Amino acid sequence: MTEYIPSPTEWVREQVTLYEASNGKEGYELRGLPVIIVTHRGRRTGAIRKTPLMHVKYENSYVLVASMGGAPKNPVWYYNLIESEKVELRDRDQVFEAKIRLVEDDYERAQVWAAAVAAYPPYEDYQNRTNRVIPIFIAEPILDE
């Protein structure tokens, strides 16, 4: 069994623990807005990592925004996802696998970014704080056939 390594950041650890322990009844919000939990593998350790991200939908998929509050560098989880094809998503009491991909097409990026900013307006400020283009991923739920 692969080891789960909780985040070294206290609020992230607490949010994930509360969210999962209550099956999404608690810990579902951050700054008054809904979040999802993204479970992924560490690219170096292979350990399981869990990251709360703002709940952003685009069409039938989820949008994972690597904003890190507009910091000059990408969050560590971004590098884990770049080397992954799938993640596990938890949206309240629903847990499912999703196929992921980095959004690189300019037209699609503009559409997806607009959806992200509509769901969480501070993303626009975050982008204005940094010189990097904030990466965004599409996470498309894998439906059982």
What are the mean pLDDT values of the chain's consecutive 10-residue runs (145 residues total)?
88 95 94 95 93 96 97 96 96 97 97 97 97 98 79
**What pLDDT score was predicted for residue 134?**
98
**Res 1: pLDDT:** 63
Q: Angle, nearest 10°, between helix axes 122-129 and 106-119? A: 120
Residue 143: per-residue pLDDT: 81
In the prediction, which pLDDT does 145 show? 53
b/e for 36-57, b at 16 or more Cβ within 10 A? bbbbbbbeeeeebbbbbbbbbe
Q: What pLDDT shows up at residue 56?
A: 97
The answer to whether the CB of 103 falls within 8 A of the CB of 137 is: yes
Report the candidate in 90, 116, 122, 87 with the shortest Cα–Cα distance to residue 103.
Answer: 116
pLDDT for 2 equals 80
Structure-token pair, residue 8: 């070294």
Q: What is the pLDDT of residue 128?
A: 97
Neighbours of 111 (CB within 10 A): 14
Dihedral angle computed from the Cα positions of residues 9, 12, 13 and 15, in that order, rounded to the nearest 10 degrees: 160
Domains and CATH numbers, the chain: 10-141 (2.30.110.10)
The model's pTM is: 0.94
pLDDT at position 31: 85
